[in-house]
Amino acid sequence: MDFAAKLITIVYYCLVAYISAILLWNLIKTKSWDKELLYIIVLVPFLLRLFRLK
Amino acid sequence: MDNVRAYIRKMILAALGLALFITSGISFYESRYLKEPVVLGPGVTRVQSLGDYFSGIRDTTNDCNVYFLEGKKQGATIFILGGTHPEEPAGRLAAWLLAENAVMEQGRLIVVLSASRSASTVTRLSGAYPPGFTIPTGWGGQKFRMGDRWTNPLDQWPDPEVYIHYPSGQSLAYVDIRNLNRAWPGRPNGSLTEKTCFAFMELIKREKVDILVDLHEAELQYPVISTIVAHEKGQELATLASMMLSDNEGFKIGTEFSPKNLHGLSHREVGDFSNAISLLVEAPEPFLDATRGKTTEEILLTGKDEFVVKAGKHGLLFEKIDQSGWPINIRVGRHTSTVLQIMESWTEDHAERGLICRSVPRYAEVIEKGIGYYLHDPSKADPKRVVYE
């Protein structure tokens, strides 16, 4: 159980990092200001989890 | 030109996002790592850690302090558990007053202030809880972590689809796998929460605890409120204590019997899996009610909320509330008096193994002087007598 939880956690953090990177890339690429704002707002909780703050 | 404008706009928005990330991150970090001082009272004879009872919990977030107050005269052992649910702060604060003030003349008092230490390092996800609260004192004020009901997901994750309680096999809500009061008696190879309960069970057995009192608070819309929930071994003791408190102290407290088929709770499993009598005490906390208004430090401390009052007028509550609310001093005073009365009622029947405690303020004293009066200034205390939660 411990091993499975650790494995899932590692995969989970990899996914969080991947999605954060995608959001950042989309932020750079988009030309629409409302999408930029949306990407920024969505990115914050992902970063908070990635840095293990909440 | 358009590209330059878009670039500047992106930079401004990214700076705003970064500011949001940094400010919220600092708040969460401080909430997780805030050091709460405990000035050891004259009655504290030693401080151990939970990891001393089970190595599987040592140096984890849940390796909490265990305070021992040993009387000169032999007697029984009572174990007070504060902070099972840190979002119910009266339980932690009442235990704090015991650690900083109590002196045992007969018997032994064991106190834990942060039973679910991990849960004290996080607030309710998406709940917009205040990160902490301050109790005013004569020397300025003492800050405490707010805390949550469940173990911090940073310490225990992921949750299953359904939580199957060990050893009963009962299916419980998935999130309760991180609820310390749904994981008793725990197991050595389980989740962090289960390991924590297992460590407490080891402590209870090794220290030959006679009575466990688990201090809680409840929303007014919850039927189990203003009561002592008792395992069948403790029904007589709880009933006697409740009668004495209701007659002598100026507040009503009832008794309820622990359901035999509801598993994972301290009042059921500690009684079933050890020799200890297990009791759980509930005080009213409007902050937890779903119909409350803005979730602020003020409502946490004053217990005043117009929406909860309105719910009461519609007959939706199991406890009375009016404009004066349920201030924290009242809630903590209920707990200190209940603990003292349980000791006194026990001693009436077991004089040779009594529990005699002094210097702990009762209900009326806590209301009159406030909790802060009984919290001591760590900057003026002997540094060897200050520990941190």
Q: In this predicted complex, what is the ipTM?
A: 0.91
Residue B133: phi, psi to the nearest 5?
-150, 155
- Cβ atoms of residues B44 and B67 within 8 Å: yes
| B223: CB partners within 8 A, 6+ apart | B318
Q: Give B86→chain A minimum CA distance, Å.
A: 17
- The predicted pLDDT at position B18 comes to 94
Find the Cα–Cα–Cα–Cα dihedral B352, B354, B358, B361, rounded to 10°: -150
Query: Which residues in chain B have their CB less than 8 angstroms from residue A7's CB?
Result: none
Contact between B9 and A8 using a beta-carbon 8 Å cutoff: no
Q: Which CATH number fits domain B34-388: 3.40.630, 3.90.79, 2.60.40, 3.30.1380?
A: 3.40.630
Alpha-carbon gap: A18 to the closest alpha carbon of chain B (Å): 18
| CA–CA dist B298, B246 (Å, integer) | 28
- Degrees, nearest 5: CA angle B265-B183-B212: 45
**Segment B172-187 mean pLDDT:** 97
Per-residue pLDDT band for B315 (boundaries 50, 70, 90) equals: very high
Task: Give the pLDDT of residue A5.
Answer: 83
* A4 lies within 8 A of chain B by CB: no
Q: Which of A1, A2, A52 sits opposite B154 (nearest CB)?
A: A52
According to the model, what pLDDT value does residue B4 have? 86
* Contact check, Cβ <8 Å, B17/A44: yes
B contacts of A53 (beta carbons < 8 Å): 24-25, 28-29, 32
Listed residue (B305, B159, B281) closest to B218, CA to CA: B281
Question: Nearest 5°: phi and psi at B181?
Answer: -95, 25
Chain-chain contact of A36 with B157 (C-beta, under 8 angstroms): no
CB contact under 8 A, B6 and A31: yes
Please tell me whether residue B108 adopts helix, strand or coil conformation. Answer: strand
Q: What is the pLDDT of residue B1?
A: 65
Asked if A54 and B122 come within 8 Å (Cβ–Cβ), the reply is yes
Nearest chain A residue to B195 by CA distance is A2
The string of pLDDT tens digits covering residues B78-125 is 999 999 999 999 999 999 999 999 999 999 999 999 999 999 999 998
According to DSSP, the residues that pair with B37 across neighbouring strands are: B388
Task: Give the residue on A whose Cα is nearest the Cα of B33.
Answer: A53
Please state, rounded to an integer, the average pLDDT across all residues of chain A. Answer: 92
Domain limits, chain B: 34-388
Q: Touching check for B122 and chain A: CB below 8 Å?
A: yes
> Percent of chain B having pLDDT more than 90?
96
CA nearest to B9 within chain A: A33
**CB proximity list for A33: less than 8 A, separation 6 or greater:** B9, B13
Q: Is B69 helix (H, G, I), strand (E, B) or coil?
A: strand
Residue-level pLDDT at A29: 93
The residue-averaged pLDDT of B58-73 equals 97
- Give the length of chain A: 54
With contacts defined as CB-CB under 8 Å, which chain A residues touch B13?
33, 36-37, 40
pLDDT at A1: 57
- pTM for the structure as a whole: 0.94
Task: Spell A22-35 as b/e; 16+ CB within 10 A means b.
Answer: ebbeebeeeeeeee
> What digits encode the pLDDT tens for the residues B25-47?
999 999 899 999 999 999 999 99
Tokens 């590692």 locate to A10
Q: What is the mean pLDDT of residues B174-196?
A: 97
Q: What angle, 0 to 180 degrees and rounded to 10, lies between the N-to-C axes of helices B266-273 and B192-206?
A: 50
**pLDDT at position B7:** 87
Does position B251 have pLDDT exceeding 90, yes or no? yes
Select from B71, B74, B49, B69 the least CA-distant residue to B110.
B69
Average pLDDT over residues B341-366: 97
Q: Give the integer Cα–Cα distance in Å for B211 and B233.
A: 10
Q: Judge: A40–B14 Cβ closer than 8 Å, yes or no.
A: yes
Please name the residue of chain B whose CA is at the shortest distance from the CA of residue A52. Answer: B154
pLDDT (tens place) for every residue of chain A, 54 residues total: 578 888 999 999 999 999 999 999 999 999 899 999 999 999 999 999 999 998
CB B79, CB B212: distance < 8 Å: yes
Question: Mean pLDDT, chain B, as a whole number?
Answer: 96
Average pLDDT over every residue of B170-198: 97
Chain-chain contact of A36 with B10 (C-beta, under 8 angstroms): yes
Query: Rounded CA gap, B276 and B211, in Å?
Result: 5
- Separation CA B119–CA B86 (nearest Å): 6
How far is CA B318 from each of CA B281, B311, B330, B375, rounded to the nearest angstrom? Answer: 16, 10, 18, 32
Q: What is the reported pLDDT for B5?
A: 85
Per-residue model confidence as pLDDT tens digits over B139-157: 999 999 999 999 999 999 8
User: In terms of CA atoms, which chain B residue is nearest residue A4?
Assistant: B158
Assess A38–B contact: CB distance below 8 Å, yes or no.
no
CB B79 within 8 A of CB B207: yes
Question: Is the Cβ pair A8, B158 closer than 8 Å?
Answer: yes
Residues of B in contact with A9 (CB under 8 A): 157-158
Rounded CA gap, B295 and B133, in Å?
A: 12
Q: What is the residue extent of each domain of chain A? A: 2-50
Output the pLDDT for position B226. 96
